[in-house]
Amino acid sequence: MVNVDLTTATFRKSQRSGNNGCVEVATNLAGVVAVRDSKDVAGPVLLFSDAEWTAFVGGVRDGDFDLQA
């Protein structure tokens, strides 16, 4: 298990998210990206390496996760 100090994390929510909640992302941490539920900010946080996050965002942009009807 990796121990990361989240006290300096600046979480941000997408401008496209509504009032129903969303995920928040903190990218200002050294070597990791933190993701949490905006409705449960004291809850669990998922941690990804910079490389994992870059690959995920690239996959989203490329449509790798689009739902097929």
> Does the structure show a pLDDT above 90 at 35?
yes
d(CA 4, CA 25): 15
Percent of the chain exceeding pLDDT 90 equals: 67
How buried is 33 (Cβ within 10 angstroms: 0-12 exposed, 13-18 middle, 19+ buried)?
buried
| Any domain includes 67 | no
Tally of domains within the chain: 1
| Any domain includes 8 | no
> Does the structure show a pLDDT above 80 at 59?
yes
> Does the structure show a pLDDT above 70 at 69?
no
Can you give the residue range of the structural domain that contains 31?
23-61
| Any domain includes 14 | no
CA dihedral 34, 37, 42, 44 (to 10 degrees): -60
pTM score = 0.83
| Any domain includes 42 | yes
Write down the pLDDT at residue 15. Answer: 77
| Any domain includes 44 | yes
| Any domain includes 2 | no
